């Protein structure tokens, strides 16, 4: 990987205590960035911070914040605390997400996959958008998945009510990540802030391990042939740091190259409608609309 100078840049990475997010934090800190990682477990998050500091004491700074990103109140608290502690945000990486085999409900009453994988990205980004714009040129990187191709966006049933299939809900949330990024890029035109989205590949992380029974065992078995987290993080690192993508916005990447997502993921009318619906659901229409 090319050694890009990130000295003086502040990077916020969610879901950074394991897998892709953790590898991103390590790589960008080594480049000299001031990295802030977000995790749900305080002890684990602090342990990762110490690990990164010991592994490369001459790199940029590394700090942590703790939040349950399936909760709108926690997302708002995280954004407010970040603004209190930091003066700028050069790169925001929305990476936190999960697969749920059973239909669970978030503290706000949303289906959990929708809450964590979509509303989390949407609300956190919008709450930090003024700070990101003031730090321009800046970047927003959203981690999606090739699983978006099996997603089905039904505006009459965004909460996956009725018959629930975990993979369909997950694929739909990843489809939403791409649509959100496309609409976000449109909102950001002329701001010198870019927004891109990516498929990291099939990576051997702890993804899916939160579920029990046969599914968890199947995931662990299938990951024997998967990419390592370090390999899976390369496109995310590339989008966060490479001068090659300076000015590129609204694109979907895989293996550090622009590729075409599914036809449903290119529906700009659906992207606009999803934005508007999401604004209403998070209850922040006046504060975060742009």
Active site positions, annotated: 170
- CA nearest to 51, candidates 74, 33, 72, 29: 29
Report the distance separating Cα 192 and Cα 247, nearest Å. Answer: 7
Report the distance separating Cα 192 and Cα 63, nearest Å. Answer: 26
Classify burial at 265, counting beta carbons within 10 Å of its beta carbon; exposed 0-12, middle 13-18, buried 19 or more.
buried
3-state secondary structure the chain: CCCCCCCCCEEEEECCCCHHHHHHHHHHHHCCCEEEEEECCHHHHHHHHHHHHHHCCCCCCEEEEECCCCCHHHHHHHHHHHHHHCCCCCEEEECCCCCCCCCCECCCCCEHHHHHHHHHHHHHHHHHHHHHHHCCCEEEEEECCHHHHHCCCCCCCCCCCCCCCHHHHHHHHHHHHHHHHHHHHHHCCCCCEEEEEEECCCECCCCCCCCCCHHHHHHHHHHHHCECHHHHCHHHHHHHHCHHHCCCCCCEEECCEECCCCCHHHCHHHHHHHHHHHHHHHCCHHHHCC
Query: Which residue has tokens 């579920």?
Result: 211
């Amino acid at each position: 990987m090319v050694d890009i100078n990130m000295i003086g840049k502040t990077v916020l990475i969610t879901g950074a205590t394991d897998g892709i997010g953790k590898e991103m934090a390590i790589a960008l800190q080594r480049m000299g960035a001031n990295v802030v990682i977000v995790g749900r477990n305080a002890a684990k998050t602090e342990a990762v911070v110490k690990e990164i500091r010991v592994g490369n004491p001459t790199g940029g700074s590394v700090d942590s914040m703790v939040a349950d990103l399936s909760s709108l109140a926690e997302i708002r608290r995280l954004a407010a605390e970040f603004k209190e502690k930091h003066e700028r945000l050069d790169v925001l990486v929305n990476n936190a997400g999960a697969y749920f085999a059973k239909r669970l409900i978030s503290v706000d009453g949303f289906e959990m996959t929708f809450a964590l994988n979509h509303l989390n990205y949407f609300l956190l980004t919008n709450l930090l958008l003024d700070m990101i714009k003031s730090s321009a040129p800046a970047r927003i990187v959203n981690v999606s998945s090739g699983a978006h191709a099996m997603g089905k966006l039904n505006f009459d049933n965004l909460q996956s009510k009725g018959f629930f299939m975990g993979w369909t809900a997950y694929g739909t949330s990843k489809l939403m990540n791409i649509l959100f990024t496309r609409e976000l890029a449109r909102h950001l035109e002329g701001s010198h802030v870019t927004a891109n989205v990516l498929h990291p590949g099939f990576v051997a992380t702890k993804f899916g391990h939160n579920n029990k029974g046969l599914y968890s065992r199947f995931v662990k078995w299938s990951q024997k042939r998967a990419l390592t987290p370090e390999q899976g993080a390369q496109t995310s690192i590339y989008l966060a740091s490479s001068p090659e993508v300076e000015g590129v916005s609204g694109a979907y990447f895989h293996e550090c190259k622009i590729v075409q997502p599914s036809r449903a993921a290119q529906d700009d009318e659906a992207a606009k409608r999803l934005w508007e619906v999401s604004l209403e659901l998070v209850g922040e229409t006046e504060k975060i609309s742009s």
